[in-house]
């Protein structure tokens, strides 16, 4: 971050749009409870082994959505789509991952790649910033993983202690996100020695795993983690009840993508993309099942619609609830797979809810990727050992095929594991042509940065330099105790506060500053280096 100290500022003209007057109607509190790496393993979705009483009770009081899909089978790209309401492939957040590469892990990534924030198109922001502009207190606890450093304007607080209970004004509406790590891929080995809550003998082993003690124990560990996660969800719900907020709040529960298991996570199969979604709201019917198609890019627009915030034109998704609910339901969902850690690939998918089309842009590459991180999973190591010993059957070897078909088409209703490619079956030619056309139209409409080499993309963003561009400092105009702020950098967010311990506020309109007050102003275009201005009035 670049800091600039200013002792005196001249008068500059105000630029940019000021916020619209706020709707006096009481705004709803909205809570997101997000677990990681979990397909719909809830009792309300038919799970028989893992017991999830807290979420099953929530389902009885909520709408249960059955056709909800992540835009990627892995966390960071999908979270990029969630927080922006944009397809990650259109804005540069498609490679897994761009940030969080420790010095010890750099060897696990392609040569020459170093951590970077995706440089988003001007005007694309975290949707939580629009909520803050509308008067919401916004918290994130605590995972971000957006593929970029979030501006200070994104959240009132983003930390492991962030909570709606910390808002100074208890009448202020809030949007609070809680991310639960317990079901994450890593917890299969981190919690390996903890007592199991599920009997391995009761586990349903899918046909792409060997049905043996290692598979059963690993899956039992994962399902035990699901049960612990359910208890943690119940604790958050109890806090809402303790505060007298449960009945009036809108609650979302979902997972960031499918199970964190081999041949599931990072894949564009149903098991990699399909997630549970429960939404409880005062005006929604209890216990209803909704089968409409929903994409992660729709989540942000839906929250804004529920909050009564005018939707910005930069969004790719459409709201499925609220005052600005889309007139027509979604007909297709889209997903993408790009670099995963050290391994490059480019795969795109489109589905109408039953038939799924997959385009493999690098068919010469294997389905399986040798990713160091998941080699910590005992089932992954076991499968590799069996493969090398020639002991996997034909179904279990499908993941290890050395090349891919250029196009794939699956009937996920009759072939849920997506083993039978129908792309060359003349019976399904019309469906193939339809979904292929939707895929190409999607790329034409939104663009696809995955077609560009990653280092070349970064070089263009950074104007040929070896570091990202810097957000220009904000212009600060003070006249008669009134402050106006503007930033010359297109698409930059502006945050301000009057002392170093205050929460950063989103600048939307002129504000007052008393004699003797300090002023801190932060300008940040996502992907650029932020710049801070400090002054004493």
Catalytic residues: 75
Q: CA 510, CA 424: separation in Å to the nearest integer?
A: 63
Report the 10 Å Cβ neighbour count for 18: 12
Structure tokens at 529: 């280096």
- Rounded CA Rg of the chain: 24
Closest CA to 175 of 309, 69, 43, 61: 309
Q: CA 369, CA 263: separation in Å to the nearest integer?
A: 10
Distances (CA, A) of 264 to 67, 73, 191, 260, 492: 17, 8, 20, 7, 38
Q: CA 56, CA 44: separation in Å to the nearest integer?
A: 6
User: For tokens 């997972």, what's the residue?
Assistant: 255
List % helix, strand, coil for the chain (3-state, nearest 5): 25, 20, 55
- 170: three-class secondary structure by DSSP: coil
Q: CA 86, CA 300: separation in Å to the nearest integer?
A: 9
Closest CA to 19 of 312, 303, 302: 312
Exposure pattern of 249-267 as b/e (b: 16+ CB <10 Å)? bbbbbbbbbbbbbbbbbbb
User: For tokens 């702020």, what's the residue?
Assistant: 485
Structure tokens at 382: 């076991």
């Amino acid at each position: 971050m670049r800091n600039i100290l200013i002792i005196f500022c001249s008068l500059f003209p105000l630029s940019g749009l000021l916020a619209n007057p706020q709707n006096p109607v009481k705004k709803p509190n909205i809570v997101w409870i997000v677990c990681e790496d979990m397909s719909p393993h809830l009792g309300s979705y038919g799970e028989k082994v893992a017991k999830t009483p807290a979420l099953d009770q929530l389902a009885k009081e909520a709408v249960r959505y059955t056709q909800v899909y992540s835009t990627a089978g892995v966390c960071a790209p999908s979270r990029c789509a969630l927080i922006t309401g944009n397809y990650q492939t259109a804005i540069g957040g498609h490679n897994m991952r761009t940030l969080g590469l420790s010095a010890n892990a750099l060897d696990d990534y392609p040569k020459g790649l170093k951590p970077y924030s995706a440089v988003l198109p001007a005007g694309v922001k975290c949707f939580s910033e629009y909520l803050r502009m509308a008067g919401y207190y916004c918290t994130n606890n605590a995972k971000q993983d957006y593929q970029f450093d979030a501006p200070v304007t994104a959240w009132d607080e983003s930390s492991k202690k962030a909570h709606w209970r910390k808002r100074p004004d208890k009448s202020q509406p809030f949007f609070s996100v809680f991310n639960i790590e317990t079901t994450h891929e890593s917890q299969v080995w981190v919690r390996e020695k903890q007592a199991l809550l599920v009997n391995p003998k009761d586990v349903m082993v899918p046909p792409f795993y060997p049905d043996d003690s290692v598979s059963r124990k690993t899956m039992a560990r994962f399902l035990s983690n699901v049960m612990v996660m359910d208890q943690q969800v119940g604790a958050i719900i109890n806090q809402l009840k303790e505060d007298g907020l449960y009945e009036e709040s809108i609650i979302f529960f979902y997972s960031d993508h499918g199970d964190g298991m081999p041949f599931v996570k990072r894949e564009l199969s149903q098991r990699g993309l399909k997630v549970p979604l429960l939404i409880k709201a005062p005006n929604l019917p209890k216990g209803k099942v909704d089968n409409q198609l929903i994409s992660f890019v729709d989540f942000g627009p839906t929250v804004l619609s529920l909050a009564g915030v005018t939707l910005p034109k930069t969004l790719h998704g459409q709201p499925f609830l609220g005052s600005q609910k889309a007139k027509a339901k979604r007909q297709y969902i889209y997903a993408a797979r790009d670099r995963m850690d050290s391994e490059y690939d480019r795969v795109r998918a489109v589905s109408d809810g039953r038939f799924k089309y997959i385009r493999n842009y690098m068919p010469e590459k294997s389905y399986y990727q040798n990713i160091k991180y998941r080699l910590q999973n005992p089932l992954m190591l076991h499968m590799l050992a069996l493969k090398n010993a020639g002991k996997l059957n034909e179904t279990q070897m499908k993941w290890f095929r050395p090349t891919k078909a250029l196009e794939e088409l699956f009937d996920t209703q009759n072939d849920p594991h997506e083993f039978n490619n129908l792309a060359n079956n003349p019976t399904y030619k019309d469906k193939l042509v339809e979904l292929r056309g939707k895929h190409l139209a999607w790329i034409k409409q939104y663009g696809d940065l995955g077609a560009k080499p990653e280092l070349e993309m970064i070089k263009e963003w950074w104007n040929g330099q070896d570091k990202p561009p810097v957000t220009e400092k904000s212009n600060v105009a003070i006249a008669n105790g009134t402050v106006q702020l503007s930033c010359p950098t297109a698409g930059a967010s502006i945050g301000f506060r009057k002392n170093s311990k205050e929460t950063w506020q989103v600048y939307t309109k002129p504000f007052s500053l008393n004699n003797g007050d300090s002023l801190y102003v932060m300008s940040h275009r996502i992907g650029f280096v932020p710049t801070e201005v400090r002054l004493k009035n």
